[in-house]
């Protein structure tokens, strides 16, 4: 499905070396669920005080602050739009986006991983989407997302890699009326004029509330699950090219407006998206049930963060040649 670029390309000013690849788990944390054939895991329960909490950066995350795509041109991406709140006794990350119908009055939000060392394996995250704003008029073309992405260097970059685990448009956009949820696997794209080479699936229904999104990458397939149900199985794009990642990616979530044409009136609308946890198992196929069980085990052991990913020996991610 060809449409305007849906996820931001990480800019060069963001350092990907804030965390050493294969950092050890946080003090007191253990990964009792990993096996000898495993190449490690990443888990985060998002138990932070705010966007400036030093542990957030130390654990390889940051809140975006620079302008740029995707979404409304010239909209701001303030780091303060990423906060951490408590829901049902559990800390969650919260993204905030606002608009009054003008670019100057529009803000987006993104929580992203600054370390790019993720490729094959299993990605899982529990996310809360909302169909309506917490305040202001409804109807905006808002995009609520979770995804993995690599940098791109030029149009039709042959090693560009992106997997959109979920892109939820409660009020539509891109010609859709909504609500609609997409899973998209990328081979490459050209920015201007727009041309995306992808495989894409969708569900035309509401995803308001908490849902668990699991994506398995390997053996020639990218398989997407929502609440344990297989919703998409991608292998190639519309030209027969692989959509499997060809270079390392980061784990990200963002909340942004596709355009401003659907805004009603001049009052400001405010939308929220929440993230309960994130989990990644390198080079391992983990079922949705197993992923949830492992997260529960971490929580039962009061482990809020762990990173045991290794990139040595048989676990090495071979980087493509410079191009």
Mean pLDDT throughout 155-165? 97
Over 90: is that where the pLDDT of 320 sits?
no
Pick the range with the lowest mean pLDDT from 65-74, 97-106, 143-152, 311-320.
311-320
Nearest-10 Cα torsion for 108, 143, 167, 157 = -60
Give the per-residue pLDDT at 322: 63
Q: Give the model confidence (pLDDT) of 47-98 as tens digits.
A: 999 999 999 999 999 999 999 999 999 999 999 999 999 998 899 999 999 9
% of residues, the chain, pLDDT over 90: 85
Phi, psi of 244 (to 5 degrees): -70, 145
Mean pLDDT over each residue of the chain, to the nearest integer: 90
């Amino acid at each position: 499905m060809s449409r305007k670029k849906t996820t931001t390309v990480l800019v060069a000013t963001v350092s990907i070396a804030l965390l050493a690849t294969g950092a050890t788990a946080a003090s007191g944390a253990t990964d009792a669920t990993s096996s000898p054939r495993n190449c490690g895991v990443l888990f985060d329960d998002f138990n932070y005080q705010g966007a400036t909490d030093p542990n957030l950066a130390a654990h390889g995350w940051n809140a975006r602050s620079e302008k740029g795509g995707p979404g409304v041109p010239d909209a701001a991406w303030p780091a303060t739009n990423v906060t951490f709140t408590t829901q049902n006794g559990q800390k969650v990350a919260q993204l905030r986006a606002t608009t009054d119908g003008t670019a100057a009055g529009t803000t987006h939000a993104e929580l992203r991983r600054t370390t790019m060392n993720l490729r094959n394996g299993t990605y899982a995250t529990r996310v809360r989407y909302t169909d309506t704003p917490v305040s202001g008029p409804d109807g905006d073309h808002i995009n609520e997302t979770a995804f993995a992405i690599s940098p791109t260097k030029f149009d039709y970059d042959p090693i560009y890699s992106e997997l959109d685990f979920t892109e939820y448009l409660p009020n539509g956009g891109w010609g859709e009326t909504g609500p609609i949820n997409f899973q998209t696997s990328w081979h490459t794209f050209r920015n201007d004029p727009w041309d995306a080479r992808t495989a894409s699936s969708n569900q035309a229904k509401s995803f308001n509330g908490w849902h668990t999104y699991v994506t398995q990458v390997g053996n020639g397939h990218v398989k997407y699950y929502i609440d344990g149900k297989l919703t998409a199985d991608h292998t190639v794009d519309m030209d027969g090219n692989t959509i499997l990642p060809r270079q390392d990616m980061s784990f990200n979530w963002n909340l942004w407006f596709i355009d401003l044409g659907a805004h009603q009136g001049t009052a400001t609308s405010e939308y929220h998206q929440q993230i309960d946890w994130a989990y990644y198992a390198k080079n391992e196929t983990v079922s949705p049930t197993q992923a949830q069980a492992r997260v529960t085990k971490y929580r039962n052991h009061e482990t809020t963060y762990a990173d045991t990913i290794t990139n040595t020996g048989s676990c090495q991610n071979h980087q493509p040649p410079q191009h």
